[in-house]
Amino acid sequence: MKTFAQLNFPGRLIAVEGLDGSGKSTQIYLLKRWLEAEGIKVYFSEWNSSELVKSATSKGKKRELLTPTTFSLIHATDFADRYERHLVPLLRAGYIVLCDRYIFTAFARDVTRGCPPEWVRGNYAFASQPDLTMFFKADLEVSLNRILEGRPKLKFFEAGMDLRLSADPYESFKIFQGRILDQYLAMSKEFNFVIMDANENVEKQQVIVRKLVGERIDLKKFKRRSPLPLPPALAGSREEEKEIEEDKAA
């Protein structure tokens, strides 16, 4: 599998991977904000966000109807749609594309759920390898605590409850995510993952992330020719201002 640089794409793709609660989403969000502030042409995409299948996935999860095979095929459809309509065009246009999860999520999760490895990889055979993949490796207890800080309980599929690993969702989470971690580590050398210590604090991790990106990618080549346009001056009634604030909050 070749990277986008090896395929002579003008753009570069950076992906982050990690267990649920590893903090990878926070790190790529901070990276995106930094690149934008530096005037870099950047585009962000996340797993399971295609408008084509997002609602179907949500309904299937809520009703607990998704089998491992169905799960795998839906996510492959989601990725294929985003890859064709967003990722590749932006890479051809010379953007740095940031992906919160890439095909390696499927390689790890779907295989853990019992799908044949060759079949899963075959579903993503059209995809090229990222130019940089960072894997955020956190202890299972750290990941679990981070998730529970934001909400009262684990989600059904997040905890692997569909696999009947344990009646206790917390124990099921540890077993399920532990098996996913084994899959990630097994393919880390094959796909040149950069292993990040996700147990460290957010600020320290972000310093390392920015340094790594700066070393691997010549950011000067991705500078915008002109700054982003400023929003038009807001002139109007207090009601209009209120509507704008509500739109921002939404």
What is the domain-level CATH number for residue 140? 3.40.50.300
Domain assignment of residue 159, yes or no? yes
Domain assignment of residue 73, yes or no? yes
Domain assignment of residue 1, yes or no? no
Domain assignment of residue 6, yes or no? no
Q: What's the structural domain count of the chain?
A: 1
Domain assignment of residue 171, yes or no? yes
For the chain, the maximum distance between any two Cα atoms, rounded to a whole number of angstroms, is: 61
pLDDT digit string (tens) for the chain, length 250 residues: 899 999 999 999 999 999 999 999 999 999 999 999 999 999 999 998 888 777 777 776 666 667 889 889 999 999 999 999 999 999 999 999 999 999 999 999 999 999 999 999 999 999 999 999 999 999 999 999 999 988 888 988 889 998 999 999 999 999 999 999 999 999 999 999 999 999 999 999 999 999 999 999 999 999 988 655 544 543 344 444 444 344 334 4
First to last CA, the chain: 40
pLDDT of the residue at 229: 54
Long-range Cβ contacts of 196-200 (<8 Å, 24+ apart): 196/27, 196/134, 196/135, 196/136, 196/137, 197/137, 198/18, 198/22, 198/23, 198/24, 198/136, 198/137, 198/138, 198/142, 199/138, 199/139, 199/142
CA–CA separation, 28 vs 40, rounded Å?
A: 15
Q: Which two three-digit tokens encode residue 3?
A: 């990277």
As beta bridge partners, residue 126 has none
Domain assignment of residue 7, yes or no? no
Domain that holds residue 194: 12-249
Domain assignment of residue 191, yes or no? yes
Domain assignment of residue 4, yes or no? no
